[in-house]
Amino acid sequence: MTQRPLPDERRPANDGRRVAARNRAALVAAAREIYAEYGLDVPLSAIARRAGVGQGVLYRHFPDRAAVATAVLEENVGQIEQAAAAPGADIARVLGVLTWHQTQSAAFINILHADGTANRSGIPAYASALSGRVERALRAHLPDDHRLAAAKDDLMIAVAMVSGAVTGPTRELREHRALAAWRLLGVEVGPVRPFDDDEGGQPPLD
């Protein structure tokens, strides 16, 4: 019966891993919410508090501020890449997912447009890598005759312009302003929403 685990040796470890995974997910979710409300410069203690864990647990998963921000932003960028890789993807649709994250996360906007100056969050180097991944995801779907394909910098300048317009106390208002900005740029944008993995296998909507 070598298959049967010894309770004292195996179960605590499994439980521990499960608790650890749950704690990490709770911390990333809490950080996402708090960043969306306050930006990246919130104290880590606020994130631990919202996640319902002690600060010791937070530090076990994330050694510093940058590690928490990275985990959240990695998922923002990952969604845009997934949207670009999905069947039926086109520039309007990928811009729609990008715009969702712009309206939902001030932190995401910060990393998109980090210009190399120091800040307290400590992520500018990582930010430019993430920003590059967003640009590649968009550019893969940019037709040669697109309004933003004429000059090299226009695509990411336009993204920065929409980020600048995305202010306001509610996500709805920020989405309204983002759509007004794309309209002023003469750029069509697909549905503004997060990318959902489950959509991956579905046929395109249009």
- Applying CB under 8 A, the residues found at the interface with a second copy are 38, 113, 115-117, 148, 151, 153-154, 157-158, 160-165, 167-169, 177, 180-181, 184-186
Nearer to a second copy, 53 or 155 (CB): 155
CB of 27 to a second copy, least distance (A): 23
CB of 153 to a second copy, least distance (A): 6
Nearer to a second copy, 86 or 155 (CB): 155
Do the Cβ atoms of 48 and 65 come closer than 8 Å? no
CB of 172 to a second copy, least distance (A): 13
Residue with tokens 């911390």: 27
Nearer to a second copy, 38 or 59 (CB): 38
CA nearest neighbour of 78 among 164, 197, 202, 201: 197
CB of 74 to a second copy, least distance (A): 22
CB of 164 to a second copy, least distance (A): 2
Q: What is the rounded distance in angstroms from the CA atom of residue 86 to the CA atom of residue 80?
A: 10
Q: Judging by beta carbons within 10 Å of its beta carbon (0-12, 13-18, 19+), is residue 120 exposed, middle or buried?
A: exposed
Sign of dihedral through CA atoms 189, 180, 74, 32?
negative
CB of 49 to a second copy, least distance (A): 18
Q: What is the rounded distance in angstroms from the CA atom of residue 109 to the CA atom of residue 82?
A: 19
Nearer to a second copy, 71 or 92 (CB): 92
Greatest C-alpha distance within the chain: 71
Nearer to a second copy, 53 or 106 (CB): 106
For residue 40, the one-letter residue type is L
Nearer to a second copy, 26 or 42 (CB): 42
Q: What is the rounded distance in angstroms from the CA atom of residue 66 to the CA atom of residue 63?
A: 8
Do the Cβ atoms of 194 and 79 come closer than 8 Å? yes
